[in-house]
Chain A
Amino acid sequence: MQRIRLRYTKRGRLRFTSHRDFQRAFERALRRAEVPMAYSAGFTPHPKVSYANAAPTGTGSEAEYLEIQLTAARDPEKLRALLDESLPAGLDVIDAVEARTSGLADRLQASVWEIRLDQVAPAEAERAVAAFLEADTVEVERRTKNGLRTFDTRAAVARLEAFPPPSDRPGDGGCAILRLVVRHLTPAVRPDDVLSGLRATADLAPPVPAAVTRLAQGLLDEESGTVTDPLAPDREAAQAAPTAAAELTAAMAPEGPA
């Protein structure tokens, strides 16, 4: 029994994939790649996959995480390449480690988001960000399954900055980039809630929908407002003590069904 943790992306047009859609696509990719999955018991057995904290439909992501359970050991990097190839371009598997520690989900304390605001002047975005950061609380409303609810967005924001776009991507009509670090609290504060907050505090009203991408998830360093790689502890543990499983896999080349 081996557990492998994977980092994957939702890029470009495939950012419109809902989490449910991704789950089905991923389980099929597992079948195509003939990964020796562990299955749940019962009438309709499901492959054992745990997903953590998926990004909302419509937002891109460079940092989604999941963990799979195998019945036979596999080399994480080879498995990653196999799965990456099996998934449609845009759903890319970009990192894999063997799970050596517990609590991946607990390490996903905060997210770094990039928000691209087309047709918004960088100066205007900076002004709005300053107003937002100045406030003690920024209440917004969101429609949830249980009706309209009001909550504070300010407390969840660990860091928020506005930039002009990189010079190689000038947008016509101006464009501002926000970089946002949000703590994962309950209720979850999402990038669009922060945008509502910017509208509430500083009347920032982008004329076109924002393009939102999650850049990272992990442990939050409160001091610097930075987020660290949640797979790092597994990687370190692996370097310190390679498992029998990994050795076995290395000895058993050729690898798997590929």
Chain B
Amino acid sequence: MSVESVFPQLEALLPHVQKPIQYVGGELNSTVKDWNSCDVRWALMYPDAYEVGLPNQGVMILYEVLNEREGVLAERTYSVWPDLEELMRQHNVPQFTVDSHRPVSAFDVFGVSFSTELGYTNLLTALDLAGIPLDAADRTEDHPVVVAGGHAAFNPEPIADFIDCAVIGDGEQAVLDMTEIIRAWKAEGRPGGRDELLFRLARTGSVYVPKFYDVEYLADGRISRVVPNRSGVPWRVSKHTVMDLDEWPYPKQPLVPLAETVHERMSVEIFRGCTRGCRFCQAGMITRPVRERSITGIGEMVDKGLKATGFEEVGLLSLSSADHTEIGDIAKGLADRYEEDKIGLSLPSTRVDAFNIDLANELTRNGRRSGLTFAPEGGSERIRKVINKMVSEEDLIRTVATAYGNGWRQVKLYFMCGLPTETDDDVLQIADMATKVIAKGREVSGKNDIRCTVSIGGFVPKPHTPFQWAPQLSAEETDARLEKLRDKIRGDKKYGRSIGFRYHDGKPGIVEGLLSRGDRRVGAVIRAVYEDGGRFDGWREHFSYDRWMQCAERTLPAFGLDVDWYTTRERTYEEVLPWDHLDSGLDKDWLWEDWQDSLDETEVEDCRWTPCFDCGVCPQMQTEIQIGPTGRKLLPLSVK
């Protein structure tokens, strides 16, 4: 079967849309393989605009891993903006890949990576534009297998009706394993049709196929149990974990877009996982254990990546980059190596307690000491114990003082509002912390023009974390608390003008909460919102809280439920949670104990440096902590 490019039809529409360059592909390091010489074809999607989706590391890695394989091709597709969507509908142009502009419906697999739940409506838009039935049940053998991945896939229940399967955990090996199963099934002449293929995927125990599981409910709306409805389908589906990151040095050739995107840098993941145990952090919980890339592996990736891209900045990525056992040597080594080349270095996520100002100074050797970001997350000592973010105010002030003393002018502090057990007082203490930071900063720098920005967002309880049972704070209460804080900061005569205050209202958090801890019944809300025109929910200018609430009011009463039931309701130990059959490795009893410890304000150490605290992941997933130091050094590169 030959599949034509839809570019000629698309091309006629491009003069009429914003930023047409995002739809034409042809990025440096992109790959177009011969359609007919491949037998398994993936369309990979990041369900947001190109400018956000293109730099996504997950998609970039899978794109390369798949394209490196003989007989396998992968192309990328992103959400089209509403202006193009309208034209595509008028002119019958289907959802296309940017690489060779083939219709998404022509591929064997349509893989969608969800970093956040706010991409769900965009999934429906893409399916519909692709001509793929929204309901998985209506698809035939000719439609691609729709697979969800990414962090949000750890609870795919709200989109269970729309996807064929979900893969949780690291994708590198998982996509290759799926590819082999699909290849074999196609080679055999597609025996048993779509169901047989899905069954072959499901029986591995590492691909979740929602249709093979029945959800049974209690009279009060809670789930009574989730059972496989077919023999050979395992009761629980496990996450994938890639060990030894040095064996997976991807992306080797990062894509360099022509269009402007949100991150334009050579990113290297320096380790995966985090065991600090911050109780609110889903990423930290579901990516255990910690697996470091070696200092030499990092050095090589940076070198090759810069050569392949010409980027002027290197980003050292991870959940908490300063925690790498050899971060000092890495930063210094890279700074030395690229001193002449005007290459900037950045550590996008760092923690105040691990952060060391020497490191920050190293990263900014060539000037630009503008701003440093710290994330104490909680305003009071008490609430920081609840969330297990172990940093004392004293430590923070000391670190910040050093920063101002070293010439940094601006410090940004990140917090959350709506944490379990939180009171107004916990949040108001954020203002006290900010004033102390300014006071100390003025003292050590001898200057009055230093600034501190407080940035605060609403907390959303997430599956597979100790807070998965917690009640979420309502939007109204969140907003009221934030207003009090704002008034307190603004009212401060002496320091108020030096403190910036940025916050998000509580409304988007409620929708995120509904989707994060939702079950299959929430799918009706997502569908209604999509049909009502909901798109790009991660974008302030497109997001409509009212639309979500109206659609929820139309759909949830049929189940005897409402939004509060999913968000502000506290769950009990006995309750079957919608994602219990998806195994992140974390022991549910351990999570419950940690939740109880949290309520008692008891902290837990990091298992990287202290004995294992039995969260369950390592024995369950047959993995282990993998950290340095290796004692090796970043070698200076020979002649350039």
Chain A positions within 8 Å of B, measured between CB atoms, are 13-14, 16-18, 20-22, 24-25, 27-32, 34, 39, 43-45, 57-58, 86-90, 208-209, 257
Does B258 touch A at the CB level, under 8 Å? yes
* Given known contacts A14-B258, A17-B21, A34-B640, A58 and B310 CB-to-CB distance under 8 angstroms: no
Minimal Cβ-Cβ distance residue in B for A59: B15
Name B288-340 residues within 8 Å CB distance of A: 306-312
A98 to chain B, nearest CB (A): 24
Interface size on B, residues (CB 8 A): 32
Residues of chain A with a CB closer than 8 A to B640's CB: 34, 257
* CA distance in complex: A32, B256 (Å): 12
13 interchain pairs, CB-CB under 8 A: A13-B11, A16-B20, A17-B21, A18-B21, A21-B258, A28-B311, A31-B312, A32-B307, A34-B640, A39-B342, A87-B28, A88-B28, A88-B258
**Per-residue 0/1 for B1-38: is the Cβ within 8 Å of any A Cβ (1 yes, 0 no)?**
00000010001101110011101111110000000000
B276 to chain A, nearest CB (A): 34
A144 to chain B, nearest CB (A): 17
A89 to chain B, nearest CB (A): 7
* CA distance in complex: A17, B26 (Å): 11
Residues of chain A with a CB closer than 8 A to B16's CB: 209
- Specify which of B25, B258, B311 lies most central, judged by the most chain A CB atoms within 10 Å of its CB: B258
Does B627 touch A at the CB level, under 8 Å? no
* CA distance in complex: A88, B309 (Å): 11
Residues of chain B with a CB closer than 8 A to A45's CB: 342
Does B368 touch A at the CB level, under 8 Å? yes
* CA distance in complex: A13, B12 (Å): 11
* CA distance in complex: A257, B307 (Å): 12
Known A-B contacts: A39-B342, A57-B21. Give 12 more (CB < 8 A).
A13-B11, A13-B24, A20-B260, A21-B260, A24-B258, A24-B264, A28-B256, A28-B309, A32-B309, A43-B367, A45-B342, A58-B15
Q: Are B7 and A13 in contact (CB under 8 A)?
A: yes
Residues of chain A with a CB closer than 8 A to B475's CB: none
Residues of chain B with a CB closer than 8 A to A25's CB: 28, 256, 258
Does B259 touch A at the CB level, under 8 Å? yes
* CA distance in complex: A34, B640 (Å): 9
* CA distance in complex: A16, B25 (Å): 11
B611 to chain A, nearest CB (A): 47
* CA distance in complex: A87, B258 (Å): 10
A29 to chain B, nearest CB (A): 6
* CA distance in complex: A58, B24 (Å): 11
Residues of chain B with a CB closer than 8 A to A58's CB: 14-15, 20
Residues of chain B with a CB closer than 8 A to A16's CB: 14, 20-21, 23-24
A56 to chain B, nearest CB (A): 10
- Specify which of B12, B21, B260, B306 lies most central, judged by the most chain A CB atoms within 10 Å of its CB: B21
* Given known contacts A18-B21, A20-B260, A209-B15, A88 and B312 CB-to-CB distance under 8 angstroms: no
* CA distance in complex: A97, B311 (Å): 27
Residues of chain B with a CB closer than 8 A to A27's CB: 310, 312
* CA distance in complex: A25, B310 (Å): 9
A86 to chain B, nearest CB (A): 8
- Specify which of A16, A43, A44 lies most central, judged by the most chain B CB atoms within 10 Å of its CB: A16
- Specify which of B15, B25, B306, B308 lies most central, judged by the most chain A CB atoms within 10 Å of its CB: B15
Residues of chain A with a CB closer than 8 A to B312's CB: 27-28, 31
Q: Are B342 and A14 in contact (CB under 8 A)?
A: no
* CA distance in complex: A32, B7 (Å): 30
A10 to chain B, nearest CB (A): 11
Chain B positions within 8 Å of A, measured between CB atoms, are 7, 11-12, 14-16, 19-21, 23-28, 256, 258-260, 264, 306-312, 341-342, 367-368, 640
Q: Are A88 and B21 in contact (CB under 8 A)?
A: no
Residues of chain A with a CB closer than 8 A to B25's CB: 13
- Specify which of A28, A45, A89 lies most central, judged by the most chain B CB atoms within 10 Å of its CB: A28
* CA distance in complex: A86, B309 (Å): 9
* CA distance in complex: A208, B581 (Å): 54
B319 to chain A, nearest CB (A): 29
* CA distance in complex: A20, B259 (Å): 9
* CA distance in complex: A36, B532 (Å): 55
Q: Are A14 and B309 in contact (CB under 8 A)?
A: no
* CA distance in complex: A45, B342 (Å): 8
* CA distance in complex: A13, B28 (Å): 14
* CA distance in complex: A45, B366 (Å): 11
Minimal Cβ-Cβ distance residue in B for A37: B342
Residues of chain B with a CB closer than 8 A to A57's CB: 20-21
Minimal Cβ-Cβ distance residue in A for B12: A208
Residues of chain A with a CB closer than 8 A to B368's CB: 43-44
Residues of chain A with a CB closer than 8 A to B260's CB: 20-21, 24
Q: Are B311 and A88 in contact (CB under 8 A)?
A: no
Minimal Cβ-Cβ distance residue in B for A21: B258
B14 to chain A, nearest CB (A): 6
Q: Are A31 and B259 in contact (CB under 8 A)?
A: no
Q: Are A31 and B310 in contact (CB under 8 A)?
A: yes
B186 to chain A, nearest CB (A): 31
A119 to chain B, nearest CB (A): 11
A16 to chain B, nearest CB (A): 4
* CA distance in complex: A58, B11 (Å): 10
Minimal Cβ-Cβ distance residue in A for B26: A88
A95 to chain B, nearest CB (A): 22
Q: Are A29 and B14 in contact (CB under 8 A)?
A: no
Return the contact of A209 from the options B12, B27, B311 (Cβ within 8 A): B12
A113 to chain B, nearest CB (A): 16
B342 to chain A, nearest CB (A): 6
B370 to chain A, nearest CB (A): 9
Residues of chain A with a CB closer than 8 A to B264's CB: 24
A49 to chain B, nearest CB (A): 14
Residues of chain A with a CB closer than 8 A to B28's CB: 25, 28, 87-88
Minimal Cβ-Cβ distance residue in A for B13: A209
Minimal Cβ-Cβ distance residue in A for B367: A43
* CA distance in complex: A18, B258 (Å): 9
* CA distance in complex: A17, B14 (Å): 12
Q: Are A89 and B342 in contact (CB under 8 A)?
A: no
Residues of chain B with a CB closer than 8 A to A34's CB: 640
* CA distance in complex: A71, B25 (Å): 34
B346 to chain A, nearest CB (A): 14
* CA distance in complex: A29, B341 (Å): 14
